[in-house]
Amino acid sequence: MKRNSIAAMMFLVLALCTVAPAARAAEDALKPGRADLYPTWHAIGIEIPYTGDANANGKASFVWRVAGDTAWRNGVEMVRDATRRLWWASIFPLSPDERIEVQVAFEDPDGCEPKLLEAKTATRPAPVQTVSGRQIWVSPGGQDDASGAKDAPYRTIGRAARNLKGGDTVHVLSGIYPEYVELNKQASGTWDHPTVFVGEGPTQPVIDASIAIEKGDTWTEVGGGVFSCPAADKITLVIQDGTRAYGYSSMKDLKADPMDSRRVFFHDSASGRLFVKTGTDKPPSAYSYQLATKPHGFDLQGASHVEIRNFEIRNTSDAAVRISAGGSGNAIFGNSILNCRLAISINDPKCDDTAIWGNTIRLNGQTDFTWNATMAEFWEFSCIGLQLWTGRGTSVIGNRIDGYRYLITLEPPPGEAEKLAASTLTGNRDLDIMYNELFNAADDGLEADSGGVNVRVYANHMRNCNTGISIAPCTRGPVYVLRNDFTFRTLMFKFGINAGTSYGACFCDHNSGYALTRDSSVGIYFNASLPTTAKRFRNNILVLTGEDVMLAMRPQNVLDGNCYWRVSSEKSLKFQWEGKWLHGLPAFQEASGMEQSALAADPMLNATPGIAAYSVKDYNFSRASEAGLVRSPGESDFRLRTGSPCIDRGVPIRGINDDFAGAAPDIGAHEVGRESPPSGPAAVQPAAN
């Protein structure tokens, strides 16, 4: 080889040795982008893009304060999404119209620039009980060819809707309105001047989407306890004396009643007839019936910045209020929704910033049916259905919900969960579910399957749910489940049992729950065949009646500071760790290295009525109503009694429990010496005009 060729090769080798480390350092150095703060009314979502940090050893943390305060507060742990190159976190709970300052600090041994980001924003002001624009009046005694003035009101809400301009206020007087009100973009207001539909006293005006069959009306007996009547319209909901009937999809099933639902119906669209069995020895002429024929009370098809306030909406075959086609900034609060197949539905990723506040929602009779029947019915009965396509900034605050299959559901349509994991941030993003009172779920109190991005589940009271919270799987995160309390029949937490992966970060801290059924309750349920990671359970109280504390726990999850208690001490608690069953907390602590601060002791909750009150041979066939329907969160008091071993025994968690009252945080949803978080309509009072 020639001398100059050797020299050239040596130069190239030296150059590569010199450049390669510099190139690697550039790839490994963390370069944060601009902080994006997304405010809702009670929280702020933080999203920060970054480049570099190929070796993933960079760190981020933040502090925040209310403008004008001198002291900074710790932020929660920040979550890195290495696939999308994003950092995420949330600030909550906040109040409407608070100005917030944030500082985010970064560090990386390979270099970091900038090292500090500063940002400011404000939570959204509360929806305003405004009276602006034209004043339009509606009364059952009015005329649709009138002017719509207070002394010459329209007769129908639909007539007022056709004449709307953005920012108008429609006053609806007491009475019954058999209507389906459709609103499009023409009805849109603005943040400062929303279009308002408000029910005026002395009682809430009623939008009734049904046709009635009165007591004593004629029915045709067809044999086997089955009766029929003409019903030309498609019927998906039948109400018998104020209580819903179970729907079958064939005459064969109606006659056989394989789900033992007793109070049942079948609508034959071909013949235009409705067939019913009353579930008693009385014929249907002894009852009154409402047949849901209209899909909605209000249908916001692209309408934005619309307030719907102080109505009763009942007997709809679909959602009482549906929001679609990009309608954003809408507020649904202070309404009574009764016996609707869905209460409120949002199904468009462009429908942002919806406030669902302080509504009372009830479906009578749902809990009379077995779990198997509920899951098999051809129409799903879910209360607040946010599904996959909910836009950013949805706020579900201070509602009182009683008696649906799912009380609040974020579940995506079938087959969509895996797509969420790999492709999109859309849906269930910057979502707040706070201060709600949730009762009598046939299945899940909160079904958050697929998870979301910056989802905050905070200070909800759940009673008599088959499962308290399901996030199965959590394909995205972070999801925060904090300071909730619940009674349940089968599972307290459910994770990772559906198809797909469950990599999304979940922070389940400071929750309290106890089981209503004997020998059938599980604290935390995973699936050993699915990768379920990044779940953190800390400072929770789990009062169980079955042996199983958890199924299929893995090293990638974190447990510490929890309190476990089995009501009957005949058998020890069981923990499943990497496919093996371990009996007793000490065995789990030794094998896993987790739960070094945990307790196996009676937490001494203030009041636990109904704990282990009834036995179920197989929960798949249990009737929720057999547990005794729950009417008030006051039926259970999850505060700790004096002398509780959970006082001052929790582990410190940055940004979660820094404001503890004693020597250390308490375990469970409620901190002794701190006022409990607000609940119900008091948490969501709209601003005065």
pLDDT digits (tens, 9 = 90+) for 277-306: 999 999 999 999 999 999 999 999 999 999
For domain 30-122, give the fold: Immunoglobulin-like (2.60.40)
**Both tokens of residue 497?**
């049992």
Task: Give the model's confidence band at 475: pLDDT under 50 very low, under 70 low, under 90 confident, else very high.
Answer: confident
Residue with tokens 């923990």: 575
DSSP conformation letters of 625-654: GGG-----GGG-EEEEPTT-TTTT-SPP-T
User: What is the pLDDT, as a whole number, of residue 348?
Assistant: 80
Question: Which tops the pLDDT comparison, 622 or 303?
Answer: 303
The reply to whether CATH 2.60.40.1180 applies to domain 210-292 is yes
- Look at residue 70 and tell me whether its pLDDT is greater than 90: yes
- For the ranges 328-332, 425-429, 437-441, the lowest mean pLDDT is seen at 425-429
Q: In a 3-state reduction of DSSP, which class is residue 253?
A: helix
pLDDT of residue 259: 93
Count of CA atoms in the C-beta half-sphere (13 A) of 165: 4
Average pLDDT over residues 670-684: 73
Q: Where in the chain is the domain with CATH 2.60.40.10?
A: 30-122
At 68, is the secondary structure helix, strand, or coil?
coil
Tell me the CATH class for 341-628+644-668: mainly beta
Is the separation of the CB atoms in 274 and 234 below 8 Å?
no
| pTM of the complete model | 0.93
Banded pLDDT at 528 (limits 50, 70, 90):
low
Q: 551: which strand partners? A: 525
Check whether 519 has a pLDDT greater than 90.
no
**More reliable by pLDDT, 550 or 328:** 328
Give CATH 2.160.20.10 domain extents, the chain.
341-628+644-668
Neighbours of 208 (CB within 10 A): 20
Q: Where are the beta strands (DSSP E) in 295-405?
A: 298-301, 306-309, 312-314, 319-324, 331-333, 336-338, 342-346, 355-357, 360-362, 382-385, 395-397, 400-402
Q: Is the dihedral of CA 414, 418, 423, 425 positive or negative?
A: positive
State mean pLDDT over 100-107.
Answer: 98
- pLDDT tens digits along 12-21: 444 444 545 6
Given a cut of 80, is residue 1 above it in pLDDT?
A: no
Q: 565: closest CA among 515, 495, 614?
A: 515
- Residue 671: pLDDT over 80: yes
d(CA 226, CA 86) in angstroms, rounded, equals: 60
**At residue 4, does pLDDT exceed 60?**
no
pLDDT on residue 412: 64
Residue 21: predicted pLDDT: 60
Average pLDDT over residues 609-614: 82
Label residue 6 by pLDDT band (50, 70, 90). low
Pick the residue with more confidence: 579 or 230?
Answer: 230
Q: Considering the chain, tell me which residue range(s) the CATH 2.60.40.1180 domain(s) occupy.
A: 210-292
pLDDT in the model for residue 624 = 67
Q: Average pLDDT for residues 617-621, to the nearest whole number?
A: 52
Angle at 130 between CA 128 and CA 133, to 5 degrees: 140
**Is the confidence at residue 387, as pLDDT, over 90?**
no
Higher pLDDT, 435 or 612: 435
Question: Which residue type, as a one-letter code, is found at position 399?
Answer: N
Section 24-31 average pLDDT: 82
Six token digits for residue 667? 């375990």
| pLDDT digits 0-9 by tens, 627-654 | 667 777 667 899 999 999 999 999 999 9
The answer to whether residue 621 scores a pLDDT higher than 90 is no
DSSP string for 142-206: --TTS--BTTB-BS-HHHHHHT--TT-EEEE-SSEE---EEE-GGG---SSS-EEEEE-SSS--E
Q: Among 9-23, 301-315, 359-373, 450-464, name the most confident range.
A: 301-315
Task: Identify the pLDDT of residue 473.
Answer: 75
Mean pLDDT, the chain, integer: 87
Bin 440: left if φ > 0, else alpha if -120 < ψ < 50, else beta: left
Segment 170-193, tens digit of pLDDT: 999 999 999 999 999 999 999 989
Per-residue pLDDT at 15: 47
What does the pLDDT read at residue 8? 53
Q: Looking at residue 549, what is its pLDDT?
A: 79
Q: How far apart are CA 626 and CA 619, in angstroms?
A: 12
pLDDT of 678 above 70: no
For residues 207-223, give the mean pLDDT.
Answer: 94
Please give the average per-residue pLDDT across 75-97, as a whole number: 94
Q: Is the pLDDT of residue 499 over 50?
A: yes
Confidence at residue 447, expressed as pLDDT on a 0 to 100 scale: 87
Task: Report whether pLDDT(452) > 90.
Answer: no
* Omega within 30 of 0 (cis) for the link into 686: no
